Protein backbone atom coordinates (compact mmCIF):
# COMPACT_ATOMS: atom_id res chain seq x y z
CA UNK A 1 0.00 0.00 0.00
CA UNK A 2 1.10 3.48 -0.87
CA UNK A 3 -0.02 6.67 0.80
CA UNK A 4 -2.41 8.53 -1.50
CA UNK A 5 -0.95 11.72 -2.89
CA UNK A 6 -2.94 14.58 -1.33
CA UNK A 7 -2.19 17.03 -4.11
CA UNK A 8 -0.67 17.23 -7.58
CA UNK A 9 2.80 18.10 -6.26
CA UNK A 10 2.82 15.55 -3.47
CA UNK A 11 4.96 12.47 -4.01
CA UNK A 12 3.84 8.90 -3.37
CA UNK A 13 5.64 6.96 -0.65
CA UNK A 14 5.11 3.42 0.61
CA UNK A 15 3.73 3.24 4.15
CA UNK A 16 6.13 1.64 6.60
CA UNK A 17 4.38 -1.74 6.41
CA UNK A 18 4.56 -1.70 2.60
CA UNK A 19 8.37 -1.39 2.55
CA UNK A 20 10.01 -4.59 1.27
CA UNK A 21 13.53 -5.85 1.95
CA UNK A 22 14.05 -6.78 -1.71
CA UNK A 23 13.29 -3.23 -2.86
CA UNK A 24 15.47 -1.69 -0.15
CA UNK A 25 18.45 -3.90 -1.07
CA UNK A 26 17.93 -3.11 -4.76
CA UNK A 27 17.86 0.62 -3.97
CA UNK A 28 21.08 0.35 -1.97
CA UNK A 29 22.86 -1.82 -4.57
CA UNK A 30 23.59 1.10 -6.90
CA UNK A 31 26.76 3.10 -6.11
CA UNK A 32 25.18 6.51 -6.76
CA UNK A 33 22.09 5.72 -4.70
CA UNK A 34 24.28 4.38 -1.91
CA UNK A 35 26.32 7.60 -2.05
CA UNK A 36 23.09 9.61 -1.59
CA UNK A 37 22.04 7.41 1.34
CA UNK A 38 25.44 7.80 2.98
CA UNK A 39 25.32 11.58 2.66
CA UNK A 40 21.75 11.70 4.00
CA UNK A 41 22.82 9.54 6.93
CA UNK A 42 25.69 11.95 7.63
CA UNK A 43 23.48 15.06 7.29
CA UNK A 44 20.60 13.86 9.44
CA UNK A 45 18.13 16.33 7.94
CA UNK A 46 16.35 17.42 4.78
CA UNK A 47 18.70 17.92 1.84
CA UNK A 48 17.84 19.23 -1.64
CA UNK A 49 18.54 16.91 -4.61
CA UNK A 50 20.92 19.44 -6.13
CA UNK A 51 23.21 19.18 -3.09
CA UNK A 52 24.57 15.78 -4.09
CA UNK A 53 26.07 16.78 -7.46
CA UNK A 54 25.78 13.30 -8.94
CA UNK A 55 27.90 12.89 -12.10
CA UNK A 56 24.88 12.00 -14.24
CA UNK A 57 22.12 13.82 -16.11
CA UNK A 58 19.21 15.46 -14.31
CA UNK A 59 16.81 12.78 -15.52
CA UNK A 60 19.08 9.99 -14.26
CA UNK A 61 19.38 11.79 -10.93
CA UNK A 62 15.57 12.00 -10.77
CA UNK A 63 15.36 8.28 -11.53
CA UNK A 64 17.76 7.37 -8.71
CA UNK A 65 15.85 9.50 -6.20
CA UNK A 66 12.56 7.95 -7.33
CA UNK A 67 13.95 4.43 -6.76
CA UNK A 68 15.04 5.50 -3.28
CA UNK A 69 11.63 7.02 -2.53
CA UNK A 70 9.50 4.23 -3.97
CA UNK A 71 11.50 1.59 -2.09
CA UNK A 72 10.92 3.45 1.18
CA UNK A 73 14.55 4.39 1.78
CA UNK A 74 14.02 8.16 1.59
CA UNK A 75 11.18 10.62 2.02
CA UNK A 76 10.86 13.43 -0.52
CA UNK A 77 8.83 16.60 -0.27
CA UNK A 78 8.69 19.82 -2.23
CA UNK A 79 9.91 22.99 -0.61
CA UNK A 80 9.14 25.71 -3.14
CA UNK A 81 10.66 24.40 -6.36
CA UNK A 82 13.25 22.21 -4.64
CA UNK A 83 12.73 18.54 -3.74
CA UNK A 84 13.97 17.91 -0.23
CA UNK A 85 15.19 14.48 0.82
CA UNK A 86 15.49 12.70 4.13
CA UNK A 87 16.45 9.17 5.08
CA UNK A 88 13.56 7.10 6.55
CA UNK A 89 15.85 5.82 9.26
CA UNK A 90 13.20 5.19 11.89
CA UNK A 91 11.08 3.18 9.45
CA UNK A 92 14.04 1.15 8.23
CA UNK A 93 15.41 0.59 11.73
CA UNK A 94 11.98 -0.55 12.95
CA UNK A 95 11.50 -3.00 10.09
CA UNK A 96 15.07 -4.23 9.66
CA UNK A 97 17.08 -3.52 12.82
CA UNK A 98 20.77 -3.07 12.12
CA UNK A 99 20.48 -3.38 8.35
CA UNK A 100 21.04 0.26 7.40
CA UNK A 101 23.90 0.66 9.86
CA UNK A 102 25.60 -2.50 8.61
CA UNK A 103 25.35 -1.30 5.00
CA UNK A 104 26.71 2.15 5.92
CA UNK A 105 29.54 0.53 7.87
CA UNK A 106 30.27 -1.86 4.99
CA UNK A 107 30.49 1.07 2.56
CA UNK A 108 32.90 2.91 4.88
CA UNK A 109 35.08 -0.16 5.22
CA UNK A 110 35.14 -0.74 1.49
CA UNK A 111 36.15 2.88 0.85
CA UNK A 112 39.00 2.58 3.35
CA UNK A 113 40.09 -0.75 1.92
CA UNK A 114 40.11 0.49 -1.68
CA UNK A 115 41.86 3.73 -0.72
CA UNK A 116 44.56 1.73 1.07
CA UNK A 117 45.04 -0.51 -1.96
CA UNK A 118 45.12 2.43 -4.38
CA UNK A 119 41.97 1.37 -6.23
CA UNK A 120 39.33 3.92 -7.19
CA UNK A 121 36.40 4.27 -4.80
CA UNK A 122 33.24 2.56 -6.03
CA UNK A 123 30.95 5.45 -5.15
CA UNK A 124 32.97 8.23 -6.78
CA UNK B 1 40.79 -9.85 -9.56
CA UNK B 2 39.36 -13.29 -10.12
CA UNK B 3 41.02 -16.57 -9.29
CA UNK B 4 42.20 -18.28 -12.48
CA UNK B 5 40.23 -21.38 -13.30
CA UNK B 6 42.64 -24.32 -12.89
CA UNK B 7 40.73 -26.59 -15.27
CA UNK B 8 37.90 -26.57 -17.78
CA UNK B 9 35.27 -27.53 -15.21
CA UNK B 10 36.45 -25.17 -12.49
CA UNK B 11 34.36 -22.08 -11.88
CA UNK B 12 35.71 -18.54 -11.55
CA UNK B 13 35.29 -16.81 -8.20
CA UNK B 14 36.38 -13.35 -7.06
CA UNK B 15 39.13 -13.39 -4.46
CA UNK B 16 38.05 -11.98 -1.10
CA UNK B 17 39.60 -8.57 -1.81
CA UNK B 18 37.79 -8.36 -5.16
CA UNK B 19 34.33 -8.73 -3.58
CA UNK B 20 32.36 -5.47 -3.82
CA UNK B 21 29.49 -4.31 -1.61
CA UNK B 22 27.45 -3.14 -4.61
CA UNK B 23 27.59 -6.60 -6.23
CA UNK B 24 26.77 -8.35 -2.94
CA UNK B 25 23.72 -6.13 -2.35
CA UNK B 26 22.59 -6.67 -5.94
CA UNK B 27 22.94 -10.43 -5.51
CA UNK B 28 20.89 -10.35 -2.29
CA UNK B 29 18.19 -8.03 -3.73
CA UNK B 30 16.49 -10.81 -5.69
CA UNK B 31 13.94 -12.91 -3.76
CA UNK B 32 15.04 -16.25 -5.24
CA UNK B 33 18.71 -15.53 -4.68
CA UNK B 34 17.96 -14.41 -1.13
CA UNK B 35 16.03 -17.64 -0.58
CA UNK B 36 19.10 -19.63 -1.69
CA UNK B 37 21.35 -17.63 0.62
CA UNK B 38 18.99 -18.17 3.55
CA UNK B 39 18.89 -21.91 2.95
CA UNK B 40 22.67 -22.08 2.61
CA UNK B 41 23.02 -20.12 5.85
CA UNK B 42 20.71 -22.61 7.56
CA UNK B 43 22.49 -25.68 6.11
CA UNK B 44 26.04 -24.57 6.89
CA UNK B 45 27.58 -26.91 4.30
CA UNK B 46 27.80 -27.76 0.62
CA UNK B 47 24.42 -28.09 -1.05
CA UNK B 48 23.67 -29.16 -4.65
CA UNK B 49 21.80 -26.65 -6.86
CA UNK B 50 18.95 -29.12 -7.37
CA UNK B 51 18.21 -29.08 -3.63
CA UNK B 52 16.59 -25.66 -3.74
CA UNK B 53 13.78 -26.45 -6.16
CA UNK B 54 13.47 -22.88 -7.40
CA UNK B 55 10.18 -22.30 -9.29
CA UNK B 56 12.00 -21.22 -12.47
CA UNK B 57 13.66 -22.87 -15.45
CA UNK B 58 17.02 -24.57 -15.20
CA UNK B 59 18.71 -21.78 -17.15
CA UNK B 60 17.25 -19.13 -14.85
CA UNK B 61 18.39 -21.14 -11.84
CA UNK B 62 21.88 -21.31 -13.35
CA UNK B 63 21.81 -17.54 -13.89
CA UNK B 64 20.88 -16.86 -10.25
CA UNK B 65 23.66 -19.12 -8.96
CA UNK B 66 26.14 -17.46 -11.30
CA UNK B 67 25.20 -14.01 -9.96
CA UNK B 68 25.69 -15.30 -6.41
CA UNK B 69 29.06 -16.84 -7.33
CA UNK B 70 30.41 -13.92 -9.34
CA UNK B 71 29.47 -11.44 -6.62
CA UNK B 72 31.38 -13.51 -4.05
CA UNK B 73 28.35 -14.54 -2.00
CA UNK B 74 28.69 -18.28 -2.66
CA UNK B 75 31.39 -20.71 -3.66
CA UNK B 76 30.53 -23.34 -6.26
CA UNK B 77 32.43 -26.51 -7.12
CA UNK B 78 31.66 -29.57 -9.15
CA UNK B 79 31.20 -32.88 -7.38
CA UNK B 80 30.75 -35.40 -10.17
CA UNK B 81 28.01 -33.91 -12.31
CA UNK B 82 26.46 -31.86 -9.51
CA UNK B 83 27.38 -28.26 -8.69
CA UNK B 84 27.78 -27.89 -4.95
CA UNK B 85 27.19 -24.53 -3.26
CA UNK B 86 28.37 -23.00 -0.02
CA UNK B 87 27.98 -19.55 1.47
CA UNK B 88 31.24 -17.53 1.68
CA UNK B 89 30.37 -16.47 5.19
CA UNK B 90 33.90 -15.98 6.46
CA UNK B 91 34.79 -13.78 3.48
CA UNK B 92 31.62 -11.71 3.79
CA UNK B 93 31.90 -11.40 7.57
CA UNK B 94 35.54 -10.31 7.28
CA UNK B 95 34.78 -7.66 4.64
CA UNK B 96 31.39 -6.46 5.88
CA UNK B 97 30.92 -7.40 9.55
CA UNK B 98 27.29 -7.87 10.47
CA UNK B 99 25.93 -7.30 6.98
CA UNK B 100 24.98 -10.87 6.12
CA UNK B 101 23.43 -11.47 9.54
CA UNK B 102 21.41 -8.28 9.36
CA UNK B 103 20.07 -9.22 5.93
CA UNK B 104 19.19 -12.74 7.10
CA UNK B 105 17.50 -11.31 10.19
CA UNK B 106 15.62 -8.73 8.07
CA UNK B 107 14.34 -11.50 5.79
CA UNK B 108 13.13 -13.54 8.80
CA UNK B 109 11.36 -10.52 10.25
CA UNK B 110 9.71 -9.70 6.94
CA UNK B 111 8.47 -13.29 6.57
CA UNK B 112 6.96 -13.23 10.05
CA UNK B 113 5.42 -9.80 9.46
CA UNK B 114 3.84 -10.81 6.15
CA UNK B 115 2.64 -14.14 7.55
CA UNK B 116 0.99 -12.31 10.46
CA UNK B 117 -0.69 -9.88 8.08
CA UNK B 118 -1.88 -12.66 5.75
CA UNK B 119 0.19 -11.43 2.80
CA UNK B 120 2.10 -13.88 0.63
CA UNK B 121 5.77 -14.34 1.50
CA UNK B 122 8.12 -12.54 -0.88
CA UNK B 123 10.55 -15.42 -1.22
CA UNK B 124 7.99 -18.18 -1.96
Domains and CATH numbers, chain A: 8-111 (1.10.10.10)
Confidence label for A52 from pLDDT (cuts 50, 70 and 90): confident
A20 contacts in chain B (CB < 8 Å): 110, 122
Give me the residue from B95, B99, B109 closest to A95, CB to CB: B109
Query: For the ranges A39-43, A115-119, B12-16, B85-89, which has the lowest average pLDDT?
Result: A115-119
Instruction: Give the pLDDT band of residue A124 (cuts 50, 70, 90).
Output: very low
- DSSP labels for B73-104? SEEEEEETTEEEEEE-HHHHHHHSTTHHHHHH
List, in order, residues 6 or more apart from B52 with CB less than 8 Å away.
Answer: B35, B36, B39, B61
Which regions of chain B are under pLDDT 70? 1-8, 119-124
The distance of A91 to chain B (nearest Cα, Å) reads 13
| Percent of chain A clearing pLDDT 70 (strictly above) | 89
Are the Cβ atoms of B103 and A99 closer than 8 angstroms?
Answer: yes
Minimum CA–CA partner of B28 in chain A = A25
The CA distance from B112 to B115, in Å, is 5
pLDDT band at A1 (very low <50, low <70, confident <90, very high): low
Interface A-B, measured as beta-carbon pairs within 8 A, has a size of: 89
Predicted TM-score (pTM) of the model is 0.88
Residue-wise pLDDT for B101-124, tens only, equals 999 999 999 999 999 987 666 554
Using the predicted structure, report yes or no on whether residue A36 has a pLDDT greater than 90: yes
pLDDT for B124 equals 43
Out of A20, A99, A106, name the one closest to residue B21 (CB): A106
Query: Which residue pairs from B45-53 have beta carbons closer than 8 angstroms and sit at least 24 positions apart in sequence?
Result: B45/B86, B46/B77, B46/B79, B46/B84, B46/B85, B46/B86, B47/B84, B47/B85, B47/B86, B48/B79, B48/B82, B48/B83, B48/B84, B48/B85, B49/B82, B49/B83, B49/B85, B50/B82
Enclosing H/E stretch for A102: helix A99-117
Amino acid sequence: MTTAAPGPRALAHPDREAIRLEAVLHALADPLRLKVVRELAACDGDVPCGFFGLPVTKSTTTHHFRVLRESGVIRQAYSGTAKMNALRRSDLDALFPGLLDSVLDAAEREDRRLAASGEPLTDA
